[in-house]
Chains A and B, each alone.
Chain A
Amino acid sequence: MNGLGGFLLRRVLGAVVTLFAISVIIYVVFYVTPGNVAQITCGPRCSPAQVQQVAEQLHLSDPLYVRYWHFLQGIVVGQDYSTGTSVQHCSAPCLGLSYQSDQQVTRLILAKLPVSLSLVFGAMVLWLILGVGTGVLSAWRRGRLTERLLTGVTLVGVATPVFVIGLVLMIVVCGELELLPFPQYVALTDDPEQWAWNLLLPWLSLALIEAAAFARLTRASMLETLAEDHIRTFRAYGVGERSIIGRHALRGAFAPVIALNANNFGGAVGGAVLTETLFGLPGIGQEMVHAVNVVDLPVVVGMVLVIGFFVVVANAVADVLYAVADRRVVLT
């Protein structure tokens, strides 16, 4: 198991390095932007005195690497912001202060994170089941009408923008058929049943689109595996078609599906923006759009970091799962 252990270690180290690099890039890109950083950060309604205060708190007079160091420090240990009269302690991980909404960025994000995570986890379960299931069905029934139908459906699914599906679902299910009320977010801790019902439509919209992509990927991988030599071996030994599909061909799809899932999951935490906006879910994505519109720099930077963190973690997890699924990778 040494090979696997070493592999794990290398991947984790790689993830840490990547995260670090991302933080540097983000920080540099955003705080080196044209324009008066303090002014932009503080917001359009700030007085010159307030802008000055912000400039001090952000250590803008110091060279770039010192500012970055403070930033890092804040993330690891926490930071204190003095306003002349009072001292506000921002505990680790401190991602800065949002002057425009008068909150600590970390708290802001933490409030919104559960919503996004609820959305993405639920949708992920659905898209994996639907997507891989459809793909397996297509591969099993290859050459027949079922496959043609499913291929057509998945093609349509891939081409439809997520907000269109969401809109259509809302209009049909809530508006015309009135099967469900228009969704409003209820926290899991408050009422699990309502939580699930309200998230059903958002889950479906997100899941259906992603499932189409997974279905295509699963089908393609399985068909590729079915053309390989080892399938011929098992056929030549009398192994039944069901085992061939379910045990051998499906195995070939594991690795690509894991890789794709990691990418999509990581990206979806923030990227489910469209779904959140459409269904009015107070998640990270929606907050991001708002922050971008009012140009609230600390929030934007903080969000990108948090989402980047999820993406990197998701990729690292996927790498490990990938290695477990296909041991040959460990040798590279």
Chain B
Amino acid sequence: MSEALVASQAPGTDIVAPGASGARQFWRRLRAQRAALVAAVVVALLVLVALAAPLLTAIEGQDPTTYHPSLVDSARGGVPVGSFGGTGADHWLGIEPQTGRDLFARLVYGARVSLGVALAATLVQVAIGVLVGVAAALGNRWVDQLLSRITDIIVALPLMIMSLALLAIVPSSFPRPVLVALVIGLVAWGNTAKIVRAQTLTLKQLDYVSAARLSGWGTWRIARRELLPGLAAPVITYAALLVPINITVEAALSFLGVGVKPPTPSWGQMLTAADVWYQAAPQYLLLPAGALFVTVLALTVLGDGVRTALDPRAASRLRVGAGRKQEAKADQGGAR
């Protein structure tokens, strides 16, 4: 549902990098935004946690799948024994009601799933989108028509429903997180393809591409040397905004019980039964919800920052507090 949001926030198709020498300028502009920097640090931390999950749980001495039935009071329906839902030296963040599984371990391994699946799904979307988009823009009219029709259909397919449906028919023997990533990727590459096609069409018209043809280079060489670098900016911007959306989608699917299935922990999964337990073990609800919130927020802010760094002209208008000062600068540029 919010995929369209990203589509509508996609960078304009006229990003011809205004003469900046690429990477260095980008980093400089990114560093200049405090919010994005903070977000980047948070994201880096999350990635670290996810990668170091085995290490962290080893330090704690627990793992995400072992049941601890002794720590829950089955007489009272599975409420954790001990204060604060079973928090203590052994279980840093408490335990899961009914099963007694360690929450810290589940949370930390859940980070792996969330980030991993979202990243993989984004990669699939970008890969297919770029391929289809470039082919449509460079091919003849029939190829373009065909690919554009296919793209339209993919865009029309409702994400949640198709994911639900596809996840139903594949047997459980297939590794679930990989499947979820693939499904999300296959169902939602449409908008990426549209953006790539539009940008490639614009780039194709630029004079320096014509000049490359006049120099004697062949189509593939031109596509590689002149067009692909021009696509980097909009694709990266779009991908940066896709990642938080994919995290949300994976969480939603797991919440519904069709995504990542137990015993593999996932933040969405942890939320499924949480509403019943919030009084006895509030962290059961708050931890995964909080983790999701922080992750998506940090990634969204970072994504905004990336977009600003790559297209300073549009971004200067969108910056909070930009107001009328920026309009003056825009006017000045037009003044002769």
Please tell me whether chains A and B touch each other in their complex, using a CB distance cut-off of 8 A: yes
Least distance between A285 CB and chain B CB atoms (Å) = 8
The stretch from B100-108, B136-144, B152-160, B200-208 touching chain A is B152-160
Given A143-B324, A158-B300, A161-B252, the answer on whether A21 and B1 have CB atoms closer than 8 Å is: no
CB distance A163 to B156 under 8 Å?
Answer: no
Interface residues on chain B, size class: 35 or more
Interface string of A142-168 (1 = CB under 8 A from B): 111001100100011011111110010
| A263 adjacent to B4 (CB under 8 Å) | yes
Minimum Cβ distance to chain A for residue B122 (Å):
17
B153 contact set on A, CB distance < 8 A: 18, 21-22, 25
B301 CB, min distance to chain A CBs, angstroms: 7
A301 — which chain B residues lie within 8 A by C-beta? 165
Stretch from B14-22, B87-95, B124-132, B253-261 at the A interface: B253-261
**Which B residues touch A264, using CB under 8 A?**
1-2, 4-5
Q: Which chain B residue has the least Cβ–Cβ distance from A15?
A: B156
The smallest beta-carbon distance between A295 and chain B, in angstroms, is 6
A269 to B1, CA, bound (A): 10
Query: A271: which of B156, B160, B274 is its contact (CB, 8 Å)?
Result: B160
* B158 touches which of A34, A162, A270 (Cβ 8 Å): A270
Kindly report which residue of chain A lies nearest to residue B292, judged by CB atoms: A161
Task: Kindly report which residue of chain A lies nearest to residue B251, judged by CB atoms.
Answer: A161
Interface of B is mostly: helix
Residues of A within 8 A of B271 (CB): 163-164, 167
With A22-B157, A161-B289, A163-B252 already in contact, the answer to whether A292 and B275 are too (CB < 8 A) is no
Q: How far is the CA of A229 from the CA of B257 in the complex (A)?
A: 52
Q: Is B320 an interface residue (CB 8 A)?
A: yes
Q: Are A267 and B275 in contact (CB under 8 A)?
A: no
Q: Are A227 and B152 in contact, CB atoms less than 8 angstroms apart?
A: no
- B156-177: CB near A (< 8 Å → 1, else 0) gives 1111111011111101000000
B228 sits at the interface (CB 8 A): no
In the complex, B8 has a CB within 8 A of chain A: yes
**A315 partner residues in chain B, CB cutoff 8 A:** 156
Q: Report whether B322 and A266 are in contact in the complex, using a CB–CB cutoff of 8 Å.
A: no
Q: Which of B8, B161, B322 contacts A143 (CB 8 A)?
A: B322
**Given A143-B324, A161-B248, does the pair A289, B256 have CB atoms closer than 8 Å?**
yes
- Closest Cβ of chain B to A312, distance in Å, is 5
Interface status of B48 (Cβ within 8 A of chain A):
no
- Do residues A171 and B275 form an inter-chain contact, with CB atoms below 8 A? yes
Once A148-B321, A260-B8, A263-B4 are accepted as A-B contacts, the answer to whether A22 and B327 lie under 8 Å apart by CB is: no
Interface string of B1-39 (1 = CB under 8 A from A): 111110111000000000000000000000000000000
Residues of B within 8 A of A160 (CB): 293, 296
Does A277 interact with chain B (Cβ within 8 Å)?
yes
Q: CA separation between A64 and B68, bound complex, in Å? A: 52
- What CA separation (Å) do A309 and B289 show in the bound complex? 33
Are B161 and A307 in contact, with the CB atoms below 8 A?
A: yes
* Contact yes or no, A227 B300, CB < 8 A: no
Contact across chains for A292 and B160 when beta carbons are under 8 A apart? no
Residues of chain A with a CB closer than 8 A to B159's CB = 267, 271
Measured CA separation A269–B334 after assembly (Å): 46
Q: How many pairs of A and B residues are in contact by the CB < 8 Å rule? A: 182
Q: Across the interface, which residues of A come within 8 angstroms of B162, CB to CB?
A: 304
Evaluate contact between A143 and B321: CB separation under 8 angstroms: yes
A259 x B8 contact (CB < 8 A): yes
With a cutoff of 8 Å between Cβ atoms, the chain B residues found around residue A273 in the complex are 160, 164, 252, 256
A14 to B156 alpha-carbon distance, docked (Å): 12
User: Is A283 on the interface with B (CB-CB < 8 A)?
Assistant: no
- A189 touches B (CB below 8 Å): no
Cβ contact within 8 Å between B8 and A256: yes
A217–B7 alpha-carbon span in the complex (Å): 10
Whether a CB of chain A sits under 8 angstroms from the CB of B69 is: no
Known contacts A256-B8, A274-B255, A300-B168; A267/B317 CB under 8 A? no
Q: Is B297 an interface position by the 8 A CB rule?
A: yes
CA distance A160 to B271 in the complex (A): 13
Q: A22 and B156: CB pair below 8 A?
A: yes
B252-A155 in contact (CB<8A): no
Cβ contacts under 8 Å, B322 to chain A? 142-143, 223
A256-291 near B? 1/0 per residue, CB < 8 Å? 100110011011111101100110000001001101
* A151 in contact with B297 (CB, 8 Å): no
Task: List A contacts of B252 (CB < 8 A).
Answer: 161-163, 273-274
Query: A18 to B156, alpha carbons, bound, how many Å?
Result: 8
**CB atoms of B327 and A293 under 8 A apart:** no
Asked if B278 contacts A271 (CB within 8 A), the reply is no
B318: interface (CB < 8 Å) = yes
- Taking CB atoms, residues of chain B closer than 8 Å to A213 are 2, 5
Flag if A260 contacts B4 (CB, 8 Å): yes
Q: A residues within 8 A CB of B297?
A: 155-156, 159
Distance, CA A154 to CA B169, complexed state (A)? 37
- With A18-B152, A303-B161 known as contacts, the answer to whether A161 contacts B293 (CB < 8 A) is yes
- The answer to whether B326 touches A227 (Cβ under 8 A) is yes
Chain B residue at smallest Cβ distance from A143:
B323
B314 part of interface (Cβ distance < 8 Å): yes
Is B45 positioned at the interface, with any CB of A under 8 Å from its CB? Answer: no
Chain B positions 57-97 with a Cβ under 8 Å from a chain A Cβ? none
10 closest residue pairs by CB, A with B:
A143-B323, A263-B4, A159-B297, A292-B168, A271-B160, A159-B296, A270-B161, A213-B5, A267-B1, A142-B323
Residues of B within 8 A of A (CB): 1-5, 7-9, 149, 152-153, 156-162, 164-169, 171, 244, 248, 251-252, 255-258, 271, 274-275, 278, 285, 289, 292-293, 296-297, 300-301, 314, 317-318, 320-327, 330-331, 334
